[in-house]
Amino acid sequence: MLDIPSSVRVDVEALLAAQNHMGVCDAIEQYAPVGKPDTMTAPHFPKVAGIDSTVPPPAHTVAPASPAPAPPSSPGAPGAPGALIQDRLAGWVSDLTTLHELTERLARTAVMDDALHEVLRAGAALVGARRGLVVLEPADGLGPDTTVGLGLARADLGHIETVPRGATSYGRILDRSDGTGEPEVHADLLSEDGLDPRHREVAARLGYAASFALPLATEAAGRLGAAVWLYDEPAEPVERQRHLVGLYTRYATEHFARLLELERARTKSRTIAEELLPPRLPRVAGVQLAARHRTGPRGGGDWYDALPLPEGALGLTVGSVTGSGASAVAAMGRLRASLRAYAVMEGEDPVAVLSDLELLLRLTEPARSATALFAYCEPALRKVVLAGAGHSPPLVIGERRTEFVETSLSAPLGMLACWEAPSVEFSPEPGETVLLYTDGLLHRTGDPMDRAFARLHAAAAGVPRTIRDDPGAIADHVLHTVLPGGLDAADSDEDVVLLAARFE
């Protein structure tokens, strides 16, 4: 039984207030003594997951008439003021618990597409709808612009997009100056006067009869888009449902703003990294080339390069700069450009190329280290001379063998005051492919390095015979076999680079 402080007088009028859907806090405040309130006169609930637990204003606008005297009832009897207050409090707790669970689920989403789908599902449950769509269209015009549906196929979304923008509820919301304002409610679309004929046709085709739309906008985040939920029959959410979904979408908009900022930063970093890598691989007689590159969410410093050299030679290199983000991408660009210059001047001596790169790194960026591998190839002679600095050994894939090239051990660039390690020379057979890769391929597996190397070797040995003459297909097979289940494209701090060279 709820213990009501003696300073609060609850009489028969509180019963009528509850029956008229007045919030219990409003009723208590109305009938509390004038003057300084006592401690804990009205219950105050803490915010849950950033949700303000304020109760919406009463639905009525006219004060209720003075009630006739009613016979007293016992506190525990049904309809007693105490029982009604307890019911109201139980409803608040239930609503706050629901919002807490839904916002926690939304907070666990780290990708914009997942967050949009989660908001559609949660909103549909809150307003009692079965289908819906979210239109993401940031007001700053920088994108990304997208439309995501719940219970709507791509063709259904295409039908909705054929309706003139000004005739749709989300279109009217997005066309407002700030994208905010009241929700767009259409309780019975098909009988609504002035409905656009195309909108009526699409609603009949898709089988929805009512809609409820909310802006995805806050003062801090600005306008990000609009959410629409569709009803199969004429309907509209009640005041309580509108209040709950309004609280939820305000939190969701702030979450969208954070994900949007992160996604834009990732896109910029990824674009810069891609622009710093070669746009295409050169054509050199006697060898076929293919490369695969996967950039982590924050952008990393892995690179690859293939450089035509004098007398029909070819320089191949892969490497990785420590760290991630814009600084690592910039350092990668500087090292790759410097390595190209050293390769043109003294590419036939891979040790000299990496020695010069080591000196440059020590003098210009003493706080940074990198791994690198450079190979000088003569395709006409099928001769490869390579040297590595802290890098994983290449893998030779052929009909009769699949083995790692034995290379000399060396610390990464920038780790020694004086670096030099002997180069190694080997001759691939006709039809064999030399696979160069960065450590990200091994780290993304999550296995210890010895098991990761074993997984890589098994993947290379299992390349089907039908694709062994295609270096691109070989690289794809190794990538998807070593990193199954989408790990090759999943968010990871590690970049992945593969460079395959098939000798004819």
State yes or no: pLDDT of 440 exceeds 80. Answer: yes
Alpha helical stretches, state H, 224-349: 239-276, 326-346
Choosing among 1.10.3720.10, 3.30.70.100, 3.60.40.10, 3.60.10.10, the CATH entry for 277-503 is 3.60.40.10
Instruction: Give residue 17's pLDDT band: very low, low, confident or very high (50, 70, 90).
Output: very low
The mean pLDDT value for 269-274 works out to 76
Query: Do 220 and 177 meet the contact criterion of CB atoms below 8 Å apart?
Result: no
Q: Which CATH homologous superfamily contains domain 109-263? A: GAF domain (3.30.450.40)
- Interval 464-499: pLDDT, tens: 999 999 999 999 999 999 998 777 776 666 889 999
Question: How far apart (Å, rounded) are the C-alpha atoms in residues 327 and 337?
Answer: 16
Q: What pLDDT score does 262 carry?
A: 86
State yes or no: pLDDT of 193 exceeds 60. Answer: yes
Q: What pLDDT score does 39 carry?
A: 36
State yes or no: pLDDT of 451 exceeds 60. Answer: yes
Rounded percentage of the chain residues whose pLDDT exceeds 70:
80
498: enclosing H helix or E strand = strand 496-503
Query: Do 208 and 230 meet the contact criterion of CB atoms below 8 Å apart?
Result: yes
Backbone φ and ψ for 384, nearest 5 degrees, come out as -130, 125
Query: Do 438 and 496 meet the contact criterion of CB atoms below 8 Å apart?
Result: yes
- Interval 311-361: pLDDT, tens: 999 999 999 998 877 788 888 889 999 999 999 998 899 999 998 998 888
Whether the ω angle into residue 75 lies within 30 degrees of 0, i.e. cis, is no
The mean pLDDT value for 403-419 works out to 78
For 495, how many CA atoms within 13 A lie in the half-sphere containing its CB? 29
Greatest CA span in the chain, whole angstroms? 109
What is this structure's pTM?
0.62
Question: How far apart (Å, rounded) are the C-alpha atoms in residues 301 and 328?
Answer: 5
Question: How far apart (Å, rounded) are the C-alpha atoms in residues 339 and 309?
Answer: 13
State yes or no: pLDDT of 163 exceeds 80. Answer: yes
Q: What pLDDT score does 411 carry?
A: 83
Query: Do 171 and 132 meet the contact criterion of CB atoms below 8 Å apart?
Result: no
Domain residue ranges of the chain, discontinuous segments joined by +: 12-102, 109-263, 277-503
